[in-house]
Amino acid sequence: MLAPPQLPPCSRRYVNRLRGGLCRDRSVDEHSADLEAGCSPEYHLAMVKRPMNPTKPARRPRSSTYGAATTIDEYLARVEPEQRDALEALRQVIRKAAPKAEEVITYGIPAFRQNGFLIGFAASARHCSLHPMNSHTVADFATELAGYSTSTGTVRFTPEKPLPAALVRKIVKARITENDADAKEKLAMKGRKAGG
């Protein structure tokens, strides 16, 4: 059986990464002693985590772009005024179409919940978005959404060209119907398991 390779004295410390060329939990003197004991400077330089570029700001996670809002009002208060107006109008349309839905923040965005997540909306740097909270609603309404940028679960729009209220109502009604059907199916399956 082969003997394990001999590692430089401080190599185990690199699991925790290095800062500024020194091991986190070692002093400059201990680090210098390691170099004298046989660790090459090249070895240390290769293992050092490079400091971030000071001219480039660190990117925050997307969900915290508008802070850790806990209500839709808090979220909207942190959005640009043009987007705020567009999203507030969208919120009112959704509220009228789904009066029983509960307003929540989920995945860092405002959303409505009724028998599961119904629909959400958000603001980003260049657009606003509507999220039907499933993978097929956008495809189901593809013809009506032809003038908007879409992806699997997102419809993007600008404050200058908001989504038509009638279309938003149709999408919300379709999501309510789908969530109600899912809730009935889950209840029926639960009843079959309890009875069988």
At position 53, the amino acid (one-letter code) is: N
Query: Does position 67 have pLDDT exceeding 90, yes or no?
Result: no
Q: What percentage of the chain carries pLDDT values higher than 70?
A: 65
Per-residue pLDDT at 29 = 58
- Rounded to an integer, what distance in angstroms lies between the CA atom of residue 114 and that of residue 123? 22
Per-residue confidence band for 167, with pLDDT thresholds at 50, 70 and 90: very high
Q: If you average pLDDT over residues 63-84, what whole number do you get?
A: 83
Contact 91, 130 (CB under 8 A): no
Residue 119, classed as helix, strand or coil, is strand
Tokens representing 168 are: 């938003």
- Rounded to an integer, what distance in angstroms lies between the CA atom of residue 79 and that of residue 77? 6
- Rounded to an integer, what distance in angstroms lies between the CA atom of residue 29 and that of residue 16? 19
Domains of the chain, CATH where assigned: 11-47 (no CATH), 69-194 (3.90.1150.200)
Range with lowest mean pLDDT among 30-39, 104-113, 128-137: 30-39
Query: Does position 88 have pLDDT exceeding 80, yes or no?
Result: yes
Residue 109, classed as helix, strand or coil, is strand
Query: Does position 123 have pLDDT exceeding 50, yes or no?
Result: yes
Per-residue confidence band for 55, with pLDDT thresholds at 50, 70 and 90: low
pTM of the model: 0.65
Per-residue pLDDT at 192 = 80
DSSP calls for 79-99? S-HHHHHHHHHHHHHHHHH-T
- Rounded to an integer, what distance in angstroms lies between the CA atom of residue 187 and that of residue 17? 51
Q: If you average pLDDT over residues 98-115, what whole number do you get?
A: 94
Q: If you average pLDDT over residues 39-59, what whole number do you get?
A: 55
Per-residue pLDDT at 16 = 41
Per-residue pLDDT at 69 = 87
Range with lowest mean pLDDT among 28-32, 43-47, 65-69, 165-169: 43-47
At position 186, the amino acid (one-letter code) is: K
- Rounded to an integer, what distance in angstroms lies between the CA atom of residue 93 and that of residue 144? 17
Per-residue confidence band for 19, with pLDDT thresholds at 50, 70 and 90: very low
Dihedral sign (CA 118, 64, 160, 73)? positive
Q: How many CB atoms lie within 10 A of CB 67?
A: 13
Query: Does position 58 have pLDDT exceeding 90, yes or no?
Result: no
